Structure formats: C-alpha cells, structure tokens
Structure 1
Amino acid sequence: MKNANSTSLVCISLGLLFLMLFNITNAENWEQPRRNVNLSPFESWRSAYFCLMNQSNACNHKTNYIITLNGTLNVQDSEINEFCTSGCYDHTLLIFKCIQDVNRDFYFATKAPYSFVKNVTMNACNELKGFDTSKYKDPNSATSLYGRIYVPLISTLMTMAFIATFGV
C-alpha cells in the first residue's frame, strides 16, 4: 500500500509537470491585446506589438498610411485629406489607444514616444497638413558638439588643477 501511494504521487507529479511544459492553451490574445495580462515589461511590449499588428481594410491600399514598429507615418499634403477621411486616421487612433492601454511608456524604433507620433498625427489631420514622423530628434539627448566636448574638457582641466595644487 505504501509503495502504491508513492507511485501514484510520482505519476501525478510527472503528469502535472508535462501539462505545464507542453501547455496547449495560449493566454496571449493577438486580436485583443488589451485582454493580455501585462505583469512584466516584456509582456506589455509584446501586447503593444500585437496592437500594431492589427490591420484595417481601410488602410491597406497605402503602405505609408499604416503605422509600424518604426513609428513612421509619411503623408504628403496632397494625400492628407484621403488619410484623414478614408478611415486610416481612425484606425491609427485606435492603435494609439490600444498602445496607451497596454504600455504607457512605449517608444518606437525611432526612439519617438507614441505620444509624439499621436500628437503629430492628430495635429496634421486637424490642420490638414502633411506630416512625416520619421524625423524625430530627442530633445534631451546631448548630441550637440558642445555637449560632447565640454564634459571631458572640464574634467581634464579640473584633474590637472587638482594635481598641480596638491602635487599628487
């Protein structure tokens, strides 16, 4: 009797292990990413990616009307009326709303936050002017020439002054 209990316990444990390893069910929802449980940053980024993968029949005729992981939308002045009225603008706003719901600090591959791309898109349709979101410059980046030269120069001069003063 003792041997039968230990054998059944081992069988149940192995069965549960195999059920967990070869899980048939999938909790990820590609069509409705808002239903995913985003407990980790990786899962929220995946859900934002699933938001971007949702396609609309209204926007499939122009590739530059579809928002991608790059975050680039390029609509010329002559095409802005078509973009804003054909359903592409509404679909793009739904994608932005989905991204906001699943990952509030989402950044595109151009390092532009989703809020920047959303604001540019909304302003362009309000003013009926073309736009291009591929040209994003981070306002907080120290990429100017002076920003790159001053810090090493000042630290070198301070080190030289410290050595000259204290004779180290």
Structure 2
Amino acid sequence: MELSGKSGGRAGFLWLSFCIFLTLSCAKVISDPLKNVNLSPFQQWISAYECLNKTSPTCAANGLNLTGIIHVTGSEVTDYCNGCAQWTKDVLTCIHLVKRDFWFANNATVKLINETISHGCATNSDIVMLGVKKSGGIRNYSRTYMALFSALILAIFLFST
C-alpha cells in the first residue's frame, strides 16, 4: 500500500503532464479570424485585431487601424473609392462578423465608418472620420433609474416586515 501511494502520485502526475502535452501539441493555430470559434470576448478582440492586420499593398497610406481615423480628401477620393474602399469594407465586414459591438479608439462603430465611406464614394466628396463624441445621456438616465430602483427595494424591505 505504501509503495502504490507514492508511485501512484508520481504516475498520476506523469499521465496528467502527458495528456496536457498531447492536447497542446494537437491544437491548431488558426490565422483566419473568420474560422475561429468566438466563445469569449477575449477571443473576439483577438479576431478583430487579426482582421485589422490584413494589409493591402495598394492602401498603405489610407489603411484602417485601431484608431478608426480615415482621412481622404481632394483628388485621393477617386483612387480610394476604386480600390481601397472595398478593401476597407472587407476588413470592416470581417470585424463585424467576429465582434459585432466593436468600437474604434475614436468611438466610431463599424457601421458608422462603413456609412461614411459609402457616402463619400457615392457623392465623390471627402471621406473624413476623425472622431465621434459619445453622448452622456445614458449615464444620466442610469443614475436616475438606479436611485429609483434602490428606493423601491428599500420600500419593499421596510414594508414587508
């Protein structure tokens, strides 16, 4: 009995180590973000970042990055709309498919950038997405509802006893 207790612990540790090694060695690294199974928000962020890392050699100057800033003016608009706009829309579609609630650093959404590019190319006008101001209205409503909710809970607690 004594011999099996000591060697059983070591053997169990070795089997566990071997199983973990096999599991990790058989795991595949998927570089295509659309083939990832997005179960957690962390994986969604990684997939969205991989979408942004898809580069185009023709759109290096006006490429999309985490800032979300797009600034195409004047004579660049026609060249941008003939090639880079479709590439940017493909990147935005990839981001939308892997993380639907993605926000860029300038508070722009995927939908807003898509609409800005479509409008600029349709009207042949400047495509400028520098920053978006967020409304603080939701914060004010949440404070009001939280106070009301707390008062109702307190009233229920006081009057139920």
TM range (shorter): 0.7 to 0.9
C-alpha distance in 1, partners of 2:125/2:26?
A: 47
**SS of 2:58's equivalent?**
coil
Once the 2 structures are TM-superposed, how far is the Cα of residue 80 of structure 1 from its aligned partner? Answer: 0.3
Deviations 1:110-134 (A, max 9, x none): 1111111111011111111112111
Identify the residue that residue 14 of structure 1 maps to in structure 2.
17
Deviation at 1:69?
0.4
Superposition pairs for residues 67-82 of structure 1, below 5 Å?
A: 67-82=64-79
Q: Which has the higher helix share?
A: 2
Cα contact 2:44–2:98 (8 A) shared by 1: yes
Normalised by the size of structure 1, how large is the TM-score? 0.70
In 2, Cα distance between equivalents of 1:54 and 1:121:
18
CA apart distance, 1:79 = 1.0
How many residue pairs get aligned? The number is 136
**Shift, 1:18, TM fit:** 4.6
What is the CA RMSD across the aligned residues, in angstroms? 2.7
- Cα pair 1:28 1:36 within 8 Å, conserved: no
* In 2, Cα distance between equivalents of 1:123 and 1:44: 28
Higher alpha-carbon deviation: 118-127 or 8-17? 8-17
Aligned pairs for 1:119-158 (under 5 A) are: 119-138=115-134, 140-142=135-137
Give unmatched runs, 5+ long, in structure 1.
152-168
Instruction: Calculate percent identity across the aligned residue pairs.
Output: 28
Q: Say if 1:120 and 1:35 are closer, same or farther in 2 by CA, change over 3 A.
A: same
Distance 2:27 2:84 in 1: 31
Post-superposition Cα deviations, 1:65-106, rounded to whole Å, max 9, x if no partner, equal: 101000011000221001011x21111011011011101110
Match of 1:33 in 2: 33
